[in-house]
């Protein structure tokens, strides 16, 4: 039997032939990968040992990549590696080797956060696909263009984008003739803070979310302190913990918008979770393709809630509804709601069931205090009487004395469902099959030719070992060919279509047909398993992307000071005028209302011409929010502190400095941003400790950088408005009554620290650490490395506190006060509670 193989270039894929988005599932290990594949995922994403935002999860290793990618491609599934953390200067050599391994293994794409790493990937390989991670905080068409200019082929949009905003981003890209595709999260846990902009774990525990070490502080209880008084919210204590995202009901709209890929979140989730959620969304997408009305069945919702649920909601996809997003009652998995306890009778709990329950299921009793130990266990027996259920538990499993009438009951475990889900992916035989098209050609005297084509464009051809003969009875009909060639049950394939191009009535032994089918399938599987061959430049290295050596700037250090209201501005400018050697050369204004900038800045310039007044726009820009940037530009400031990719484009041609939110953590990122956008300097990422800052400065030029020495760390930056959610009955800024303008609000954590909440011009909230932090002890080291620009940020400090802090730092630079003395002195006298924070090694 002869065989020939033809390959049609098939990677990177375009959209599926059906026009449906790709379904992308999480996979931390082999079981999760199998669970995703066998339940219909078109692609999986996974991290390796380093540089991924799921460092506490199970991960594959670089050594796993060849086998994993071959298996995935045999099954018609793509594999994306998450390379979605910031990379520090000392890690660049390791990162380069890591990238080379990924490219050489034939991975389909890398999902990347760090701008410098996108640059490095493209430097090493001109054709390896890169996807801009949601950690890049892309919320607009301009932001998507920024990623495209980096040569990304796909953008994972911020989860805070609504369907309407996604549509505007698509329209913007279409107008520009862009080929960039969009990916959207459709299910799973929601981060309350913008991904890539959360500094909470870094601020509170020294573990950076931008380094894959999120401590999930958003899932902790907080007290709401309004104007200095704790507000009683009843059972609502988890003020920053959103419900989980469930986008099933908006799938038709996402398909209509032309979204290329739908992503399931799955941090630290089980294979059963992956199997279940993937299966439900696969079936729903197939229903959309078939034109069936989109309905979420009770069974689908039940199974999604059983897999993992803090409550299911469409998140921000349908727009902002602060009353619905965060119910605030709990932040852990609850499962399916069963009802409230009606009574305790002898050794039984009485309840009117609102969902199915059977013996062996696990339950938990919810008394509104989920941070305390709760009663729960497996149901031993259920008796139904007069519409009520009487639940019995094993001896000692439940302390009935701690169960009360009115307690909520949740179903947390369904062993029968878990067994069924596990059965969906265990074993070696493929369960999810992908269609192949078969063509059959031949005539009397020639061999029978069978051609197989898969969805990706791979083609194989086999010929029979003997010629076809005339059929006197039982010719090879289309039905008979389908019957024999379509027997693909133990393979990754199923018969999609068969085209019969035979001439005349011919015949061939069934055994030969079966052998041809097996040969074609083996050839097709081998072809699909071949690693993708991306280009890899062996002469390229990361050192070629860093700034060339330059002479450092000479002269004394200069201070920039950030203020948040007009009184603070006056206090800083007054200090600078009274003490000419204060080294204050710039003041940044970050006011909630940008309409105040013009008047305040004009007045300040007339009084204090020796100090430059700059303006900081809000950190996020959504479609339709250019009016805010226009108001900022109208202030006629001396310059602008840029926070996002829209700012880089909008303020082009003005004097500009890049702020910390651009996440400059290595010299490759710095070189790209500074030279491409002609920035005067860049603020170093807050993820860098003093040693990493030192490495960044040593790679130089040190005068490119500004380092924030004193600040209240901006921990959470959120679309979620706490003011609206808990101080009004409104859903968003249109009907909330603007409580942010009337009240001072803080969130008190379990350590009794009160963190300060502020709203910005876009009605987004920032929660600032209640304790200011200082890097005073490291200033001399950084200055010796060439640093010349230092920043102090104020939040709620009074004019007297501002003067004291500025004077202390002036004394520090003059050598009259040590860093440790400054830290102790401010803590003792100003009651600022200063900590060393992220600048600690």
DSSP codes of every residue in 795-807? SS--HHHHHHHHH
- How would you classify the pairing of strands 434-442 and 447-454? antiparallel
pLDDT at 6 over 70: no
CA distance 446 to 219: 70
Annotate 188-243 with three-state secondary structure.
ECCCCECCCCCCHHHHHHCCCHHHCCCCCHHHCCCEEEECCEEECCCCCCCCCCCC
Q: Pick from 278, 377, 369, 273: which is nearest to 57 by CA?
A: 273
Whether 467 and 566 share a structural domain:
no
Q: Would you state the pLDDT for residue 240?
A: 96
User: What pLDDT is stored for residue 724 in this prediction?
Assistant: 97
Instruction: Please tell me the distance from the alpha carbon of residue 4 to that of residue 460, in angstroms, as a whole number.
Output: 7
Nearest Cα neighbor of 205 from 609, 772, 784, 715 is 715
- C-beta separation of 723 from 740 below 8 A: yes
Model confidence over 260-313: pLDDT tens digits?
999 999 878 899 999 999 999 999 999 999 888 777 788 999 999 999 999 999
Write out pLDDT tens, residues 213-240.
Answer: 676 788 999 999 999 999 999 999 999 9
Whether residues 456 and 413 share a domain: the answer is no
Query: Over 60: is that where the pLDDT of 5 sits?
Result: no
Measured between its terminal Cα atoms, the distance across the chain in Å is 68
Compute the distance between CA of residue 32 and CA of residue 270 in angstroms, rounded to an integer.
Answer: 7
Cβ-based neighbours of 75, under 8 Å, separated by 6 or more: 37, 430, 432, 434, 492
Assess whether the previous peptide bond of 12 is cis (omega < 30° from 0).
yes
- pLDDT tens per residue across span 765-782: 999 999 898 888 899 999
Q: Annotate 341-409 with DSSP letters as a single string.
A: EEEEETTEEEE--SS---TT-EEEEE-S-TTS---EEEEEEEEEETTEEEEEE-TTT--GGG--TT-EE
**Within a domain: 204:** no
Q: Could you tell me the pLDDT band of residue 11, with boundaries at 50, 70 and 90? A: very low
289 and 355 housed in the same domain? no
Given pLDDT bands bounded at 50, 70 and 90, which one contains residue 198?
confident
CA 421 to mean position of chain CA atoms: 26
Longest CA–CA separation in the chain, Å? 111
Backbone phi, psi, residue 633, to 5°? -65, -35
Which residue from 193, 129, 208, 123 is spatially nearest to 663, judged by alpha carbons? Answer: 208
What are the structure tokens assigned to 61, written together?
A: 């290793």
Q: Encoding tokens for residue 628?
A: 């805010």
Q: Both 185 and 308 in a single domain?
A: yes
Judge whether 210 lies within some domain. no
Q: Are residues 343 and 290 in the same domain?
A: no
Q: If you average pLDDT over residues 585-592, what whole number do you get?
A: 95
Q: Return the residue matching tokens 């679309």.
A: 719
Q: Does residue 358 have a pLDDT over 60?
A: yes
Please tell me the distance from the alpha carbon of residue 569 to that of residue 602, in angstroms, as a whole number: 12
Q: Tell whether 398 and 449 lie within a shared domain.
A: no
CB 633 within 8 A of CB 642: no
Distance CA 189, CA 240 (A): 13
Segments forming the whole domain that contains residue 471: 434-529
Residue 274 and residue 368 in one domain: no
In this structure, are 505 and 387 located in the same domain?
no
> Are 609 and 708 members of one domain?
yes
Residue 312 sits in the same domain as residue 346: no
> Looking at the 3D structure of the chain, how many domains does it have?
4
Average pLDDT, the chain: 91
CB count within 10 Å of CB 85 equals 29
For residue 489, being part of any structural domain is answered with: yes
Q: By C-alpha distance, which of 160, 166, 224 is closest to 191?
A: 160
Instruction: Output the CA torsion 682→686→688→690 (10° steps).
Output: 90
Contact 106, 12 (CB under 8 A): no
Q: How far apart are CA 637 and CA 628, in angstroms?
A: 15
pLDDT per position as a tens digit, 433-457: 999 999 999 999 999 999 999 998 9
What does the pLDDT look like over 538-584, one tens digit per residue?
Answer: 999 999 999 887 766 677 899 999 999 999 999 999 999 999 888 89
State the pLDDT confidence band at 4, using cuts at 50, 70 and 90. Answer: very low
Residues 6+ apart with CB under 8 A from 335: 305, 306, 309, 410, 411, 412, 413
The percentage of the chain sitting over the pLDDT mark of 90, rounded to a whole number, equals 81
Burial code of 184-206, b = ≥16 C-beta within 10 A, e = fewer?
bbbbbbbbbbbbbbbbbbbbbee
In this prediction, residue 731 carries a pLDDT of 95
Q: How far apart are CA 670 and CA 679, in angstroms?
A: 10
CB 147 within 8 A of CB 136: yes
Domain boundary among 398, 423, 448: 423
Residue 51's pLDDT is 83
Q: Is residue 136 part of a domain?
A: yes
In a domain, 140, yes or no: yes
The domain boundary residue, chosen from 272, 292, 319:
319
Q: Give the angle subtended at the CA of 394 by the CAs of 390 and 397, to the nearest 5°.
A: 105
* Residues 444 and 368 occupy one common structural domain: no
Q: Tell me, yes or no, whether 295 lies in a domain.
A: yes
Q: Residue 46: is its pLDDT beyond 90?
A: yes
Whole-number Å distance between alpha carbons of 471 and 651: 78
Closest to 237 (Cα-Cα) out of 653, 749, 752: 749
Q: Please say whether the beta carbons of 160 and 192 come within 8 A.
A: no
In contact, 622 and 644? CB cutoff 8 Å: no
The answer to whether the CB of 226 falls within 8 A of the CB of 727 is: yes
Residue 6 lies in a domain: no
Q: Is 561 helix (H, G, I), strand (E, B) or coil?
A: strand
CB atoms within 10 A of CB 714: 24
With 0-12 / 13-18 / 19 or more C-beta atoms within 10 angstroms meaning exposed / middle / buried, residue 818 is middle
pLDDT of 89 higher than 80? yes
The helix/strand/coil state of 131 is strand
| 218 in Cβ contact with 192 (< 8 Å) | yes
**Does position 830 have pLDDT exceeding 50, yes or no?**
no
Cβ(777)–Cβ(836) below 8 Å: yes
Count the alpha carbons within 13 Å of 370 in the hemisphere toward its beta carbon: 21
Among 189, 213, 191, residue whose Cα is nearest residue 202 = 213
- Exposure string of 274-303, with b = 16+ CB inside 10 Å and e = fewer, is bbbbbbbbbebbeebeeeeeeeeeeebbbb
Q: Can the peptide bond before residue 648 be classed as cis, meaning omega within 30 degrees of 0? A: no
Q: 642 near 682, Cβ under 8 Å?
A: no
DSSP assignment of 613-648, as one string? Answer: EEE---S---TT-HHHHHHHHTT--SEEEE-SHHHH
Q: Which of 368, 401, 423 is the last residue of a domain?
A: 423
Asked if residue 296 and residue 339 are part of one domain, the reply reads no
| pLDDT of 177 higher than 50 | yes
359 touches 380 (CB < 8 A): yes
In this predicted structure, the answer to whether residue 688 has a pLDDT above a threshold of 70 is: yes
Which DSSP state fits 554? P
Q: H helices of 508-558, where?
A: 510-529
CA distance 714 to 707: 15
What's the CATH code of the domain at 824? 3.20.20.70
For residue 196, being part of any structural domain is answered with no
CATH number at residue 380: 2.40.30
> What pLDDT, on the 0 to 100 scale, is given for residue 748?
96
């Amino acid at each position: 039997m002869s065989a020939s193989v033809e390959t049609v270039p098939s990677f990177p894929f375009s959209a599926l032939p059906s026009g449906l988005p790709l379904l992308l599932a999480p996979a931390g290990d082999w079981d999760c990968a199998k669970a995703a594949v066998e339940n219909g995922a078109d692609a999986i994403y996974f991290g390796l040992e380093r540089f991924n935002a799921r460092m506490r999860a199970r991960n594959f290793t670089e050594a796993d990549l060849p086998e994993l990618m071959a298996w995935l491609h045999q099954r018609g599934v793509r594999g994306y590696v998450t390379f979605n953390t910031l990379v520090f200067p000392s890690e660049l050599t390791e990162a380069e080797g890591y990238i080379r391994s990924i490219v050489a293994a034939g991975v389909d794409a890398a999902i990347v956060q760090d701008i410098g790493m996108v640059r490095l990937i493209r430097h090493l390989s001109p054709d390896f696909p890169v996807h801009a991670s949601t950690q890049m905080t892309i919320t607009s068409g301009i932001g998507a263009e920024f990623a495209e200019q980096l040569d990304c082929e796909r953008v994972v949009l911020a989860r805070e984008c609504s369907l309407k905003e996604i549509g505007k981003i698509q329209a913007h890209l279409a107008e520009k003739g862009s080929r960039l595709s969009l990916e959207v999260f459709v299910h799973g846990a929601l981060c309350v803070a913008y991904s890539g902009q959360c500094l909470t774990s870094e601020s509170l525990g020294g573990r950076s979310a931008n380094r894959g070490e999120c401590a999930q502080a958003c899932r902790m209880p907080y007290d709401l302190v309004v104007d200095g008084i704790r507000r009683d919210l009843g059972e609502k204590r988890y003020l920053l913990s959103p419900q989980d995202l469930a986008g099933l009901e908006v799938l038709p709209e996402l398909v209509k918008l032309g979204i290329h890929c739908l992503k399931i979140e799955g941090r630290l989730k089980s294979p059963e979770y992956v199997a279940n959620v993937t299966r439900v969304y696969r079936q729903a997408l197939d229903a959309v393709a078939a034109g069936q009305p989109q309905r979420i069945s009770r069974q689908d919702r039940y199974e999604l809630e059983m897999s993992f649920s803090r409550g299911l909601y469409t998140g921000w996809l349908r727009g902002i509804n602060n009353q619905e997003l965060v119910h605030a009652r709990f932040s852990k998995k609850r499962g399916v709601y069963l009802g409230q306890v009606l009574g305790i009778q002898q050794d039984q709990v009485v309840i009117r069931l609102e969902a199915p329950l059977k013996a062996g299921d696990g339950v938990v009793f919810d008394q509104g205090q989920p941070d305390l130990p709760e009663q729960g266990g497996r149901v031993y027996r259920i008796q139904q009487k007069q519409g009520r259920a009487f639940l019995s538990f094993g001896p000692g499993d439940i302390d009935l004395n701690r169960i009360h009438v009115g307690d909520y009951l949740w179903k947390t475990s369904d062993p029968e469902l878990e067994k069924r889900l596990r059965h969906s992916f265990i074993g070696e035989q493929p369960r999810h099959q992908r269609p192949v098209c078969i063509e059959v050609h031949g005539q009397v005297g020639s061999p029978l030719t069978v051609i197989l084509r898969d969805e990706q464009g791979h083609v194989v051809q086999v010929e029979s070992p003997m010629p076809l003969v005339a059929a006197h009875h039982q010719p090879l009909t289309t039905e008979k060919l389908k019957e024999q060639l379509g027997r693909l049950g133990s393979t990754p394939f199923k018969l999609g279509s068969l085209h019969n191009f035979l001439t005349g009535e011919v015949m061939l032994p069934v055994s030969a047909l079966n052998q041809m089918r097996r040969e074609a399938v083996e050839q097709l599987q081998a072809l699909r398993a071949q690693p993708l061959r991306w280009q890899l430049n062996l002469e390229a290295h990361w050192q070629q992307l860093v700034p060339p050596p330059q002479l450092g700037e000479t002269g004394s250090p200069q201070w920039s000071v950030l203020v948040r209201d007009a009184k603070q501005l006056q206090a800083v400018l007054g200090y600078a005028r009274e003490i000419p050697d204060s080294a204050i050369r710039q003041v940044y204004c970050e006011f909630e209302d940008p309409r105040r900038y013009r008047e305040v800045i004009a007045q300040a310039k007339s009084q204090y011409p020796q100090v430059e007044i700059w303006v900081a726009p809000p950190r996020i820009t959504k479609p339709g929010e250019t009016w805010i940037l226009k108001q900022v530009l109208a202030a006629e400031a001396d310059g602008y502190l840029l926070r996002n990719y829209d700012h880089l484009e909008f303020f082009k041609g003005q004097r500009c400095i890049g702020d910390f939110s651009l996440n400059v953590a290595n010299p490759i990122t710095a070189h790209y941003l500074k030279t491409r956008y002609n920035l005067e300097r860049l603020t170093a990422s807050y993820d860098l400790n003093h040693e990493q800052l030192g490495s960044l400065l040593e790679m130089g030029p040190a005068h490119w950088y500004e380092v924030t020495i004193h600040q209240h760390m901006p921990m959470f930056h959120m679309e979620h408005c706490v003011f609206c959610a808990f101080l009004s009955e409104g859903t968003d800024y249109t009907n909330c009554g603007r409580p942010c303008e009337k009240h001072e609000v803080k969130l008190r954590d379990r350590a009794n620290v009160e963190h300060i909440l502020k709203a910005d011009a876009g009605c987004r909230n920032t929660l600032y650490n209640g304790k200011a932090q200082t890097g005073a002890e490291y200033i001399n080291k950084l200055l010796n490395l060439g640093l010349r620009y230092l920043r102090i940020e104020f939040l709620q400090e009074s004019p007297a506190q501002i003067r004291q802090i500025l004077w202390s730092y002036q004394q520090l630079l003059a050598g009259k006060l040590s860093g440790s003395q400054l830290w102790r002195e401010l803590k003792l006298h100003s009651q600022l509670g200063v900590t060393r924070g992220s600048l600690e090694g």
